[in-house]
Amino acid sequence: MTTPVLRIKVLPKPVLRGKMDVRFPANVSVQDFLSLVRANGEYAFSIDYTQLDAAAINDPTAFYVAVLDGAAGQYRIASLSELVQSTTQIVQHVTAAGPVDIAPNAGIVLVDQAVGAPITLNLPLASAKTCPVLISDWKGDAGTNNITVTLAGSDKFPGGLSSWKLGADTASIFARPATGYGYVL
C-alpha cells in the first residue's frame, strides 16, 4: 500500500501552497452482510445473502426496509407492517349506528345501516391511511339519513373543510390521503 504524500512549498511571502497525492482508499472494510472484492484497483461492494438470518419475523413493526420512491427519486424507510397493510385493502361494511371509525386499510366502505339514521364516519389521519377509500351509501337512503365524513387532527378536504356530507341517495365519495394536507376528493 502506498503512503499518501504531502508536498509543501514555503515561499518568502506569507503564502502557503500545497499539493497532495492521496490515494483512495487508505482502508476499506465492510460489516455484517456486505462483501468487498478488490481487483486491479477497483472495489466492488455487494450483499452476501448467505449471512442473513432466516428466522421468523414475530413483530413486523420492528423490521424495516428501504423503499425507492420512484416519483421523488429518493429512498425511504418503511416498517414491514406498513408494507403489508398498504397491499391489504379491506371492505368495511357498516351496519351498526355511528359514529364509526374507518379502518386505515379500508379501501371500500359500504354504509348499510340496519336501522335508518344519520351517521358520522371518522377518517383516520391521512398520514395513517394506507390506501385511498371509496365511501358509498350502499343502503341508498343518504338523502334522508345523511352520511357525514369527518377528518382527524388538522386534516382538511378541498376548500379547507373538516367534514363532508353525503346527502343524496346512493351518493359516494372517493378520498385519497395526502399526508400533511388531508384528503383529496
Q: What is the pLDDT of residues 35-46, one digit of tens each?
A: 888 887 777 888
* CA 113 to the chain's CA centroid: 33
Angle at 27 between CA 26 and CA 31, to 5 degrees: 160
As a whole-number percent, the residues of the chain with pLDDT over 70 amount to 83
Residue range of the domain that includes 132: 89-184
Number of domains in the chain: 2
Is 119 among the domain residues? yes
Is 51 among the domain residues? no
Is 77 among the domain residues? yes
Same domain, yes or no, for 109 and 151? yes
Same domain, yes or no, for 110 and 140? yes
The answer to whether 105 and 123 have CB atoms below 8 angstroms apart is: no
Same domain, yes or no, for 127 and 164? yes
pLDDT < 70 regions, the chain: 1-26, 84-87
Same domain, yes or no, for 101 and 171? yes
Residues in the chain: 185
